[in-house]
């Protein structure tokens, strides 16, 4: 799931205090929906409304009128009046009195850009639903589609992927603008679990399952699944739910091939404590809040148990539903009430 919430682009945010039910009790990852291909379908049109960005009081999220005053444009009172008159905009939207801003925000006064100084924000982490056919690279000689073209703008540094997914693999891919954080999340000593939904041509026998759990020999060393569960399937296509504690190149595919089968589809559904958010469509992303990032780091060195709350599984649509309900309440006229005795 760091000092301040991250600003997000419309309809792409994970709330700072997400609804996190246990993996065992509420089924954060509905494997049946993964297999059926409906996991990323929108649940309800009303939940697609964009939540308003809200920044909590933090050292790196100062109030707009204070920052403008510090930039020498006038007193704080004068700046509040300027904002109230609608002459100040933040990221192409008219600002409001009391609004907080953060590093990277574009501020204009009377339509002219204003340079302000704000401390660098904490690292950002993005959960992206990678579709098949995209490569995880900034440059490609073959000019194939890249995952980086769909990510939001970063105002300092660049997006770095936390591990990779090959061209034909789908699912959860994490990005951060902090190289240190990326290395921390990928370092072998943390042993972050990767969970996949794997569609295999032909059912695995009990002996083949045992080999995969005990370990098979690959050209770059031994490899084994931490867990392997049946996931259903029809005909020759059989689904399995597997976890692995490392991320070597095409490791899951090569392991299945080592026991005589081929992988026809591969979807990553979890990385550490971050689950592929339900309803996040292929090619879309959402940003993790500070509490989510903190939880991700806390669970980095611990094995994920069935009772461990997962990040992102239902939070997107829960937050949108709450935002939509809140807007609806504000628009509804209040019923007239009789004045109290104290007010008479």
What is the full per-residue pLDDT of the chain (344 aa) written as tens digits?
Answer: 333 334 444 444 444 443 333 343 434 677 887 877 777 776 565 554 555 666 666 666 888 998 898 888 888 899 999 999 999 999 999 999 999 988 788 999 999 999 887 766 678 899 999 999 999 988 888 889 999 998 988 766 789 999 899 999 999 999 998 887 888 888 777 778 899 999 999 999 999 999 999 999 999 999 999 999 999 887 788 999 999 988 889 999 999 999 999 999 999 999 988 999 888 999 999 988 878 887 777 766 555 555 455 666 445 445 445 555 655 555 554 444 443 444 33
Asked whether the whole model's pTM tops 0.75, one would answer no
3-class secondary-structure state, position 47: helix
Closest by Cα among 254, 255, 256, 247 to 172: 247
- In what helix (H) or strand (E) does residue 65 lie, and over which residues does it extend? helix 64-70
Q: How far is CA 18 from the centre of its chain?
A: 12
Q: Which residues are catalytic?
A: 166
pLDDT of residue 336: 40
Please, are residues 97 and 76 in contact by the beta-carbon 8 Å criterion? no
Q: Vertex 115, ends 113 and 118: CA angle to 5°?
A: 130
Domain boundaries, the chain: 23-51+123-298, 64-113
Please, are residues 176 and 125 in contact by the beta-carbon 8 Å criterion? yes
| Sign, Cα dihedral of 160, 162, 163, 168 | negative
81: CB partners within 8 A, 6+ apart: none
**64-113 fold:** 3.10.290
**23-51+123-298 fold:** Pseudouridine synthase (3.30.2350)
pLDDT of residue 3: 38
């Amino acid at each position: 799931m760091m000092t301040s919430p991250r600003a997000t682009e419309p309809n792409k945010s994970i709330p700072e205090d997400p609804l996190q039910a246990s993996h065992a009790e509420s089924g954060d990852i509905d494997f049946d929906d993964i297999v059926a291909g409906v996991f990323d379908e929108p649940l309800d049109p009303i939940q697609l409304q964009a939540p308003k960005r809200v920044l909590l009081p933090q050292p790196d999220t100062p109030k707009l009128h204070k920052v403008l005053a510090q930039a020498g444009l006038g007193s704080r009172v004068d700046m509040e009046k300027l904002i109230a008159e609608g002459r100040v905009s933040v990221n192409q939207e008219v600002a409001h009195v009391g609004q907080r801003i953060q590093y990277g925000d574009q501020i204009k006064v009377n339509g002219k850009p204003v340079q302000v100084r704000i401390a660098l924000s904490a690292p950002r982490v993005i959960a992206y639903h990678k579709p098949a056919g995209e490569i995880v690279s900034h440059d490609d000689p073959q000019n194939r589609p890249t995952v980086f073209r769909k990510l939001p703008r970063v105002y300092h540094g660049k997006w770095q992927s936390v591990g990779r997914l090959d061209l034909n693999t789908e699912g959860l891919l994490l990005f951060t603008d902090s190289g240190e954080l990326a290395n921390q999340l990928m370092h072998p000593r943390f042993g972050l679990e990767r969970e996949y939904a794997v569609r295999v041509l032909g059912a695995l026998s009990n002996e083949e399952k045992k080999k995969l759990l005990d370990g098979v020999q690959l050209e770059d060393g031994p490899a084994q699944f931490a867990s392997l569960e049946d996931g259903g399937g029809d005909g020759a296509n059989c689904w399995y739910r597997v976890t692995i504690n490392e991320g070597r190149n095409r490791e899951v595919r090569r392991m299945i091939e080592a026991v005589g089968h081929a992988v026809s589809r591969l979807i990553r559904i979890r990385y550490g404590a971050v689950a592929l958010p339900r309803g996040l469509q292929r090619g879309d992303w959402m940003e993790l809040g500070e509490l989510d990032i903190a939880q991700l780091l806390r669970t980095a060195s611990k094995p994920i148990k069935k009772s461990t709350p997962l990040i992102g599984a239902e939070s997107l649509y829960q937050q949108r539903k709450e935002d939509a309900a809140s807007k609806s309440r504000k628009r509804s006229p209040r019923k007239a009430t009789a004045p109290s005795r104290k007010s008479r």
